[in-house]
Chains A and B, each alone.
Chain A
Amino acid sequence: MADYDVWAPDYDVWAAEMTEDVPFYVSLAHEAAEPIVELAVGTGRVAIAIARETGKRVIGIDRSPAMLAVGRERAGDLPVELREGDFRDFTVEQPVELVVCPFRSLLHAPTWADKRAVFDAAARALKPGGRFAWNAFVFSPFVAAANHGRRSELEDGRWEGVRQVPADNRVDLTRGRGDRADGTVRLWWATRSEWEGLVEAAGLEVEALYGWFDRRPFDEDSAEFVFVARKPTA
């Protein structure tokens, strides 16, 4: 059981607005040999698109059985292999050329040690010259102040609430119905320095930092970190 299980039935509706990342990750997959590894693959929103558009095999890892069950249903006969596992200690049979972790999923790793573990596992899984790509939002105090405490009503009487916990660099997204909370997904945001520290500590190098999936340069107005790191060849 993972916290995401409560999101599984309508996750794809919830995430419907996030589409611009798909061509970005697909383009990276075009440049890599199979298999592609996707961490926190969930219902296969990105993995299925990669398999369909490149024909390459995708290994998708997630710790929510409910999300994976939706993904298996959606993937049908496409070469997507969905595995239950933790991105902090995942392994693959052979080193690969591309590991991706889309849609801010790295923010589910609470501490530096947890995020370190993911980067170390990704570095171990990569061939020399292989790439690790992920994206995460840039924490904005303006956005946080606006959505802190906000509760949105969903269809069929459910609600989704947001709570900001700055001292833990955390955002809590809670879902419930009436007086009952069904589950909370927590996101621990990180700064540019933290991401660069994780890359350095894992023995990787930043190949590119973009401000969005169209590969515009990252600058002071950017709202998203879109990172591509590379395992050195030497």
Chain B
Amino acid sequence: MSDYDAWAHDYDLWAAGTTADVPFYVSLAHEAAEPIVELAAGTGRIAIPIARETGKRVIGIDRSPAMLAVGRERAGDLPVDFRLGDFRDFTVEQPVELVICPARSLLHAPSLADKRAVFDAAARALKPGGRFGGTPSPSTRRSRPRTAGGDTSARTGAGRRLGTCRPSGAST
């Protein structure tokens, strides 16, 4: 059960005005090996086009069973693996090249600790050089001086960069 369960039956109508982000995330998926991981995948608004347009397998994680049920229905035979889970402690079987979290879903994480947990889980799920929401992981960026708490800085810096590439936010 999650708060989103109440949105599930007409979420796709509610989100119908948000479309500009889809080609952005699909283009990132084109550049990565499968599987692609989508956090807060909901009804598959992004995961399904990725699977359809790239042919790649998508692991979609969400904590609303009702949203996932709609997504499974919509996905049909496409290679989308919807999993019930919390993006703060998700894991994948093998490190991946791309983790995405579209549609401002990170804003559902209330506190610094919650957002930190998502970023830490995403970093753990990534191969070196892998990307989170269009953000290069630290190993592909110019190295920065490490001071006390350097890891925190690098991850929060990644957060800033994520904030600067929000195609859906820029179009609405």
- Name A's B-contacting residues (CB within 8 A): 112-113, 116, 120, 123, 192-194, 196-197, 200-203
Residue of B nearest to A123 (CB): B148
Q: How far is the CA of A194 from the CA of B152 in the complex (A)?
A: 12
Q: B27 interface residue, CB < 8 Å from A?
A: no
Judge whether A201 and B149 touch: CB under 8 Å: yes
Number of interface residues of B (CB under 8 A): 12
Judge whether A200 and B115 touch: CB under 8 Å: no
In the complex, besides A123-B148, A200-B149, A203-B149, 5 extra interface pairs with C-beta distance below 8 angstroms are A112-B160, A192-B111, A193-B115, A197-B116, A200-B112
Residue of A nearest to B112 (CB): A193
Judge whether A120 and B147 touch: CB under 8 Å: yes
Interface of chain A, main secondary structure: helix
B65 to chain A: closest CB distance in Å? 28
For B115, list chain A residues within 8 Å (CB). 193
Checking A192, A193, A201 against B152 with a beta-carbon cut-off of 8 angstroms, the contacting residue is A201
Show 20 residue pairs from A and B whose CB-CB distance is below 8 angstroms, ordered by the A residue. Answer: A112-B153, A112-B157, A113-B153, A116-B153, A120-B147, A123-B148, A192-B112, A193-B111, A197-B112, A197-B152, A197-B156, A200-B149, A200-B152, A201-B148, A201-B149, A201-B152, A202-B148, A202-B149, A203-B148, A203-B149
Q: Contact string, B97-112, partner A, CB cutoff 8 A, digits 1/0?
A: 0000000000000011
Cross-chain pair count, CB within 8 angstroms = 33
- Name B's A-contacting residues (CB within 8 A): 111-112, 115-116, 147-149, 152-153, 156-157, 160
> In this complex, which of B111, B147, B149, B152 has the most chain A Cβ atoms within 10 angstroms of its Cβ?
B149
Residue of B nearest to A119 (CB): B149
For A197, list chain B residues within 8 Å (CB). 112, 116, 152, 156
Q: How far is the CA of A61 from the CA of B54 in the complex (A)?
A: 57
Q: How far is the CA of A123 from the CA of B147 in the complex (A)?
A: 12
